[in-house]
Amino acid sequence: MPIDGISGRHEVEVAIVGGGAAGIAAARTLASAGRDVLILEARARLGGRAWTIPSPVPLDLGCAWLHSGDRNPWVAVAEGLGFPVERRHAPWQTRRDINFPPEQRAAYQAAAEAFYDRLDEAAASGAPDRPAADLLEPGNRWNGLLDAISGYMNGVELAGLSVRDFANYADTGVNWRIPAGYGTAIAAAGQHVPVALGCAVTRIRHGATPIEIETALGTLKAKAVIVTLPTNVLAAETVAFYPPLPDKIEAASALPLGIADKVLLALDAPEDVPLDGHAFGSLTSARTASYHLRPFGRPMIEGYFGGALARDLEAGGTAAFTAFALDELAGILGSGIRAKLTPITSTAWARDPFALGSYSQARPGRADARLTLAAPVGDRLFFAGEACHVHDFSTAHGAYRTGVAAAEAALGTVLGPCLGAADKAAPVLLGNWPLRT
């Protein structure tokens, strides 16, 4: 059945499966070259794992920090769209930890630096890859906190983290934010490219010429397809490829999405809580949350949860996240804080059917899977997304770069070179697709 129910099939030059950061970046690149492109997005919105809700203030439920802000392409995109970027240090960098005495913080910092140095040395040694937990100092009092921080950073505890993959990650240490929301800016970047929302892809017949894409709204043909789906969705084979692509499915399985969730709490009497402060719920346990107090000066607290703790709390929803946070915050700020906090919402990314997790991490011994996942198939089927980037994985800017790279690869093979600025044509909208432009 055609997408719009009209007889005959519709064709586009490039179909992009997924409207997150990678898909939007690819679409913008192709549209600026005058190409006929269409994003096929299963959700009712753009942005994917970048998602800002507008009330009571803009709240990022997905990615929120412009990591490596001094080289992050989303900074220029956001500011070009009129969204100011706040260029201040992240709270975990300012050492405004309200429950971390200086002498204890110094001891932790020494243990952490020694641990990360061991990771770097192991990765550079040429020895076989192994779990990062192998390099913890046995009995060190700070091992629990190092594990908790891995949960926030990687979505998984150190026992499941590849030493080599972690060492490949590149970060400048600059972390900025967008008050209007990172998700707001990313979705806005796709507002002028053709999009079919509520259009889940079920099968990609890439052996056909042109490629046939079967969707919830019918079938589309395209000269090239860029797939930007999260690895857990690919591994679950929610989208079938014909001919099958076992190497891609295996690579996606080797790059599972870890879990990082949030609870957002409204704060009554905010003057009782330090502005832009930070606290860990526990300084010794892996099962603890990290709390950002009054971000942007707002009367609220953001709680961050990672790894197994986040997965366990997802089963109980916002009530479970809130109860856990209130217990920890009462231990930090006093029992009176319970009456001053009201839950706004929480996330459950592992239970989101279009994500099934938060961001990718390589299983020990499988850092190579990123290159396998990113490799094109037959110069007509391309792959993008944060998991495809060797150095900027788990970030929206990594997704952006892979989306641009996939679009440029399509232009260099199937579609031919980019058009000059004077030759760029307006995008062609075919049929009666449910487009949002």
Residue 386 has pLDDT above 50, yes or no: yes
pLDDT in tens, 146-201: 999 999 999 999 999 999 999 999 999 999 999 999 999 999 999 999 999 999 99
pLDDT at 9 over 60: no
Average pLDDT over residues 48-73: 96
Q: Among 150, 29, 6, which Cα is nearest to 404's?
A: 29
Q: Using 50, 70 and 90 to split pLDDT, how confident is the model at 95?
A: low
Question: Residue 417's pLDDT is what?
Answer: 54
pTM check: above 0.85: yes
> What angle separates helix 307-314 from helix 317-333, to the nearest 10 degrees?
130
Q: What is the pLDDT of residues 203-224, one digit of tens each?
A: 999 998 999 999 999 999 999 9
Distance CA 263, CA 29 (A): 35
Q: Tens digit of pLDDT for each residue in 105-132?
A: 999 999 999 999 999 999 999 999 999 9
Q: How far apart are CA 193 and CA 427, in angstroms?
A: 8
Would you state the pLDDT for residue 430?
A: 23
Phi (first) and psi of residue 221, to 5 degrees: -110, 145
Q: Are 18 and 174 in contact (CB under 8 A)?
A: no
Please give the mean pLDDT across all residues of the chain: 92
The percentage of the chain sitting over the pLDDT mark of 70, rounded to a whole number, equals 92
pLDDT of residue 238: 96
Cα–Cα distance measured from residue 55 to residue 65, given in angstroms and rounded to the nearest whole number: 19
Question: What token pair was written down for 184?
Answer: 């707001």
pLDDT score for 431: 26
Q: Is the pLDDT of residue 235 over 80?
A: yes
- The rounded distance, in Å, linking the Cα atoms of 205 and 378 is 13
Q: What is the pLDDT of residue 416?
A: 64
| pLDDT given for residue 331 in this prediction | 96
pLDDT surpassing 70 at residue 428: no
Torsion of CA 204, 206, 208, 211, to 10 degrees: 70
- Give the residue-averaged pLDDT of 246-262: 98
Domains of the chain: 10-49+183-256+360-422 (3.50.50.60), 97-168 (no CATH)
pLDDT in tens, 407-424: 999 998 877 654 433 233
